[in-house]
A and B are shown apart, each in its own frame.
Chain A
């Protein structure tokens, strides 16, 4: 029955819950990946189901797709945003806080633009929502995509705002990217969670791009 913690009579509470919170951010950002997978998994299931069923040849009889150009722009923006966040995160770890802020600002701009373009595209589709199976799926996935992108950008925005607000405080020991302060560690945990999540999402984006805009 005895175990190692028997002797450990005092626990540094602050440190304990700080570590727990870093862990929680890690778990939650990873479970978010699972949630986002099943969310788009449901949409992709619908896509493949209707596509393979192709009832009455109405999956996409006239090959009317949403604008390839717009779709490509949106996807490139999202992927570029993810790449920039990755790079900026690396720079931040070297103590280059300003680089990170510029990088994440650009990534944020690209992401928001991608979301807005997606919404804009919904208003100028070359088909009616009920015209084909493809049309239905596109009309369904567009808003989900835009909402998820903008929601992710909200996360990035809070990170950016936090890094700006706490810049001075963290400067004492090398900036928020290397600082040993609990707040900085907390920030980095959230940033890492975001980076992994956003990279994963950009992969989903590429799959969606191929299925919705490229595949005949």
Chain B
């Protein structure tokens, strides 16, 4: 039959035979994407000048926000067209239903520069993408700390300094939302739930390709005068800015779309594609983290997109929704932004907890303590995160009588967060911990997040907030929760999963050097910032009081060491992946996790057959525990707990 609309019959089926003319031609990749994207940008910019040349920011300035924004829009569309992402939606308009799978392609490195439907390739694309974004933003942090070596001498001018601060903050806050879901969620969740595929592989792959577009556009702000409004982009300051602000809002919006795409895929996959026997009560914690994060994204990100869109209109179409006094209100932006912004903080934190609770039992050799409590903790944090956004605005004068309520909801979040500590402590209780590098990072997460969590109580208390709001105290607080918790969990996950991703076990020795330098330098960088905040240093200042110089110098030097430690990681990581390639046994950590049972390299299609799940993933210490799943068809109960039977 000519048109078989049924789902693919598995691996090896050819690509669609009809439509998709572009697919037949030269292989599309990131480079053709950039090429078409550049053409799209030029077209959009021309069009913007044609339709809105009269709406320049300042007459004769040549700064036309409409042209810039249309350039970004068409540039992104061109990029997607050049990558071949739009082939599928266009094909669909003719009624063809292309397969959800594609044949395995042995294309070497090139496959990582293509739009691909393989969840493992997407995961690895994300992994390297995220590391690039993280290191770019990290370098900007080094620039900030260089400026702050002296209270009065300037490396950067005040404008450049704020550009750097804004770029650092925005890059970190928007990109790192996907730092776990991208590399680890996409790669591991199908393996963990025993699925051969994801629900919407095209959405998943497209979600990744939003990120390089957002990255390039955000960086482009630097040579368009930057944006001095920081990552929070408070209006009307953000309306005042030059065209760099358009890059901010557009790239942030793009990443919003990326989050929605990957979250739609993640929820549908976890809900529907679990293997037989993978009950909710057996779902690995990382998958729980992913699904709670995905729902949080789906409900909060559209509000951010509305906010950014409103800002874009104020800047380009000359509406006045965010101008105080022109029928608009600057409070509107603060509300829209923080309604997203606070859940965002938790969608940075939750994946970290997913990773930590996933890895901890493996190295503690004990079941996860109070599994249901830890799930409840994640769900509780996700739900409460929607009811706390006004705590960023305690001193704003907006709804002052609501402050006790928001103080209460904010402090209530400590309860589900505390659950995760209970789970951590219970799992460590009388365990047989093995301190391999991933475990060290896991322990560091608990250590670091303790500071972040406890200072969170200070920040949420309104009378204390009067002193610490907007100061380095808050800055230290959220760096502890994001860098100290999320990035340390990401490091744990990288060390833990490289054997599965690349068949390489990173050196314990180098890993320990990296861990200890990073851990000590991190704490040495951010602990003094609490003191700086309490001593009265506001955020985002390029000059500060003379009496604070010693502390700042200490922080800067520590930050440089932290930077060097991360650079050390980057070099040793790439070296071991590309040059020395230390081979790993199939399941070096003796994990029960289903994802470890397939062995390296993970086959195309993940499993030969749909596995039947027999037991939860954390049944360590039980001599009678069944293997986590039946991978081969019949009578394979003898499959060893520690996997690696392949």
* A/B contact in complex, CB under 8 angstroms: yes
Asked if A20 meets B273 with Cβ closer than 8 Å, knowing A9-B633, A46-B310, A55-B328, the reply is yes
Segment touching B, from A23-31, A68-76, A92-100, A200-208:
A23-31
Q: Which of A1-46 contact B (CB under 8 A)?
A: 1, 3, 5-6, 8-11, 13-14, 16-18, 20-21, 23-24, 27-28, 31-32, 34-36, 38-39, 41-43, 45-46
Could you tell me the distance between the alpha carbons of A59 and B301 in the complex, rounded to whole angstroms?
27
B576 within 8 A of A: no
A149 within 8 A of B: no
- In the complex, are the beta carbons of B313 and A129 less than 8 A apart? yes
Q: In the assembled complex, which residues on chain B have CB atoms less than 8 Å from the CB atom of A214?
A: none
- In the complex, are the beta carbons of A55 and B325 less than 8 A apart? yes
In chain A, what residue has the closest Cβ to B622? A1
- In the complex, are the beta carbons of A24 and B269 less than 8 A apart? yes
Asked if A13 meets B10 with Cβ closer than 8 Å, knowing A39-B306, A49-B335, A59-B327, the reply is yes
In chain A, what residue has the closest Cβ to B278? A5
B324 within 8 A of A: yes
B546 within 8 A of A: no
One digit per residue, 1 when the CB lies within 8 angstroms of any chain B CB and 0 when it does not, for chain A 148-164 equals 00000010011011111
B167 within 8 A of A: no
> Separation in Å of the A12 CB from the closest CB of chain B?
9
- In the complex, are the beta carbons of A50 and B327 less than 8 A apart? yes
In chain B, what residue has the closest Cβ to A61? B327
- In the complex, are the beta carbons of A140 and B309 less than 8 A apart? yes
Contact of B610 among A16, A28, A128 (CB under 8 A): A16
Q: In the assembled complex, which residues on chain B have CB atoms less than 8 Å from the CB atom of A109?
A: none
B376 within 8 A of A: no
A133 within 8 A of B: yes
Which of B92, B100, B272, B298 counts the most chain A CB atoms within 10 A? Answer: B272
Could you tell me the distance between the alpha carbons of A6 and B636 in the complex, rounded to whole angstroms?
11
Asked if A130 meets B326 with Cβ closer than 8 Å, knowing A42-B336, A139-B319, A161-B93, the reply is yes
Asked if A5 meets B613 with Cβ closer than 8 Å, knowing A27-B267, A50-B321, the reply is yes
In chain B, what residue has the closest Cβ to A135? B319
Which of B1, B89, B299, B306 counts the most chain A CB atoms within 10 A? Answer: B306
Contact of B319 among A8, A32, A136, A158 (CB under 8 A): A136
Could you tell me the distance between the alpha carbons of A190 and B402 in the complex, rounded to whole angstroms?
44
Q: In the assembled complex, which residues on chain B have CB atoms less than 8 Å from the CB atom of A161?
A: 92-95
- In the complex, are the beta carbons of A45 and B335 less than 8 A apart? yes
B157 within 8 A of A: no
**Category for how many chain A residues contact B:** 35 or more
Could you tell me the distance between the alpha carbons of A133 and B321 in the complex, rounded to whole angstroms?
6
In chain A, what residue has the closest Cβ to B305? A39
Could you tell me the distance between the alpha carbons of A91 and B207 in the complex, rounded to whole angstroms?
37
> Separation in Å of the A145 CB from the closest CB of chain B?
12
Which of A23, A36, A134 counts the most chain B CB atoms within 10 A? Answer: A23
Could you tell me the distance between the alpha carbons of A163 and B313 in the complex, rounded to whole angstroms?
40
Q: In the assembled complex, which residues on chain B have CB atoms less than 8 Å from the CB atom of A137?
A: 321
Could you tell me the distance between the alpha carbons of A13 and B614 in the complex, rounded to whole angstroms?
18
Q: In the assembled complex, which residues on chain B have CB atoms less than 8 Å from the CB atom of A139?
A: 313, 317, 319
- In the complex, are the beta carbons of A20 and B615 less than 8 A apart? no
One digit per residue, 1 when the CB lies within 8 angstroms of any chain B CB and 0 when it does not, for chain A 172-200 equals 00000000011100110000000000000
One digit per residue, 1 when the CB lies within 8 angstroms of any chain A CB and 0 when it does not, for chain B 607-646 equals 0011011110000000011100010011000000000000
Residues of B in contact, count (CB < 8 Å): 72
A58 within 8 A of B: yes
Could you tell me the distance between the alpha carbons of A133 and B310 in the complex, rounded to whole angstroms?
12
Could you tell me the distance between the alpha carbons of A39 and B33 in the complex, rounded to whole angstroms?
29
Contact of B329 among A3, A24, A50, A165 (CB under 8 A): A50
- In the complex, are the beta carbons of A20 and B199 less than 8 A apart? yes
Q: Which of B534-569 contact A (CB under 8 A)?
A: none
A67 within 8 A of B: no
Q: In the assembled complex, which residues on chain B have CB atoms less than 8 Å from the CB atom of A136?
A: 310, 313-314, 319-321, 327-328
In chain A, what residue has the closest Cβ to B94? A161
Could you tell me the distance between the alpha carbons of A9 and B272 in the complex, rounded to whole angstroms?
20
A169 within 8 A of B: yes
- In the complex, are the beta carbons of A11 and B609 less than 8 A apart? yes
In chain A, what residue has the closest Cβ to B2? A169
- In the complex, are the beta carbons of B313 and A158 less than 8 A apart? no
> Separation in Å of the A93 CB from the closest CB of chain B?
19
> Separation in Å of the A208 CB from the closest CB of chain B?
14
Q: Which of B271-321 contact A (CB under 8 A)?
A: 271-273, 276-277, 298-303, 305-307, 309-310, 313-314, 317-321
- In the complex, are the beta carbons of A27 and B328 less than 8 A apart? no
Could you tell me the distance between the alpha carbons of A21 and B99 in the complex, rounded to whole angstroms?
12
Could you tell me the distance between the alpha carbons of A160 and B6 in the complex, rounded to whole angstroms?
17
Q: In the assembled complex, which residues on chain B have CB atoms less than 8 Å from the CB atom of A124?
A: none
Q: In the assembled complex, which residues on chain A have CB atoms less than 8 Å from the CB atom of B327?
A: 50, 55-56, 58-59, 130-136
A102 within 8 A of B: no
Asked if A183 meets B335 with Cβ closer than 8 Å, knowing A32-B264, A34-B298, A58-B326, the reply is no
Q: In the assembled complex, which residues on chain A have CB atoms less than 8 Å from the CB atom of B310?
A: 46, 136, 140
Could you tell me the distance between the alpha carbons of A73 and B501 in the complex, rounded to whole angstroms?
56
Q: Which of B86-136 contact A (CB under 8 A)?
A: 89, 92-97, 100
Could you tell me the distance between the alpha carbons of A27 and B273 in the complex, rounded to whole angstroms?
11
In chain B, what residue has the closest Cβ to A130? B320
Q: In the assembled complex, which residues on chain B have CB atoms less than 8 Å from the CB atom of A46?
A: 306, 310, 321, 332, 336
Per CB-CB distance, the 10 closest pairs between chain A and chain B, nearest first, are A42-B306, A161-B95, A183-B5, A133-B327, A165-B95, A58-B327, A23-B272, A24-B199, A136-B319, A39-B302
Mark A residues whose CB is within 8 Å of B: 1, 3, 5-6, 8-11, 13-14, 16-18, 20-21, 23-24, 27-28, 31-32, 34-36, 38-39, 41-43, 45-46, 49-50, 53, 55-56, 58-59, 128-137, 139-140, 144, 154, 157-158, 160-166, 169, 181-183, 186-187
- Ordered by A's residue number, 18 sampled pairs between the chains whose C-beta atoms are within 8 Å are A1-B624, A5-B277, A14-B7, A17-B196, A23-B272, A42-B303, A43-B306, A45-B303, A49-B335, A50-B321, A131-B327, A133-B328, A134-B327, A144-B309, A160-B95, A169-B1, A186-B97, A187-B5
